[in-house]
Structure 1
Amino acid sequence: MKADFNAGRAPRPDAGPFLTHVELTWLEGHIEHWIRFGRDAGETILDRHRRVLSFAPRGVFAFVRWASNDFGTIVSRIDIVRAIDRGEPYQTLPFVRPGGEILLRISGWPKVERVLQAIDAVEALGIDPADAAPDHWRHLHNRLIVGLPSRPYRREQHRAWLLRRRLAP
């Protein structure tokens, strides 16, 4: 894959497979962007501190951003995003091109930590969080935003999601 992520241009509509690109930066203790879960379709290393992960359409991933300065943490954010396919509507977010369907968007370390714990709980069921029902991530987002407890993800909910997904085109 060519490293033209920073060129500022959208890929040609007819050029190869459609991918969602996420730029990750790691400057220890200052700027740390990472993927908590998701199945990437490719990686491009830009330099010692930056790389780009690409995700196929309909892939779900969690993108964590953290930054600090001399006075402490200035950004703590997690986004759970579904990669879009060519022609689908999408929402934009920093470091993700062209964008995606945002299932969850939370900022502030206490809430980010609760999302990370919810991801751990899904994994504890033996389920890859990238395969969990998108409605679970939307539910978690809505409950955290208003400061209410959320329902945990259950195997029955996952089974129902898998069956429903088989019926959709």
Structure 2
Amino acid sequence: MTTDPPKGSTCVELMWVEKEVECWIRFGRVIHERILDRRRRVVSFAPDSIFATVRWMGNDNGTVLSCIDVVRAVRPGEPYSTVFRVQPGGDSLLRCSGWPRVERVLKAIDAIEALDINPEDAAPDHWRHVHARLLVGEPPRAYTLGRHRAWLKRRQVTS
């Protein structure tokens, strides 16, 4: 698509330069995509949607940086945190760097998908929990179908 993203959406610039820089979306519902050139594109997310971005940088000696962010796209006028390559920014639910932590987050995402739940539909508090547990070197609690049902009911009541 070549049109502008929908007004009020959150945009993420993605880049892929093989063996140097890789920025991609691990999960999330993209509502718009704009290809800038063969190495860069911009994807957009609707307000209140949750998505994960992964960044990797390397050189001839190997990995220099690996990071993952789980972000809730903010509504217009809502406060937000600065997130790399995310405009205007977002509600940062999880931010980890270093391969061991990033790998644990990726495994947590895989575990949610194994329950046949889209990670973007998981409770935002779960991502905050995973972030907090990884910061102190503890394993996060597993996301369960029961927790997911409770989240869906709570969301229904508060909407």
For 1:52, what is the secondary structure of its paired residue?
strand
Residue in structure 2 matched with residue 2 of structure 1 by the alignment: 4
Residue in structure 1 matched with residue 59 of structure 2 by the alignment: 69
Using structure 2 for the length normalisation, give the TM-score.
0.96
Superposed CA RMSD: 1.1
For 2:76, what is the secondary structure of its paired residue?
coil
Letter of the 1:106 partner, please give it.
C
Residue in structure 2 matched with residue 111 of structure 1 by the alignment: 101
What count of residue pairs does the alignment treat as equivalent?
157
Residue in structure 2 matched with residue 18 of structure 1 by the alignment: 8
- TM superposition outliers: structure 1 runs of 4+ over 6 Å: none
Cα distance, 1:2 vs. partner? Answer: 3.1
Residue in structure 2 matched with residue 92 of structure 1 by the alignment: 82
Structure 2 Cα separation of the partners of residues 110 and 141 of structure 1:
13
Letter of the 2:46 partner, please give it.
A
Cα distance, 1:17 vs. partner? Answer: 2.7
For 1:167, what is the secondary structure of its paired residue?
helix
Listed as ranges, the gaps of 5+ residues in structure 2 are: none
What is the aligned-residue identity percentage?
60
Cα distance, 1:167 vs. partner? Answer: 1.6
For 1:2, what is the secondary structure of its paired residue?
coil
Structure 1 Cα separation of the partners of residues 93 and 102 of structure 2:
14
For 2:4, what is the secondary structure of its paired residue?
coil
Structure 2 Cα separation of the partners of residues 2 and 128 of structure 1:
27
Using structure 1 for the length normalisation, give the TM-score.
0.90
Letter of the 2:85 partner, please give it.
F
Residue in structure 1 matched with residue 25 of structure 2 by the alignment: 35
Cα distance, 1:154 vs. partner? Answer: 0.5
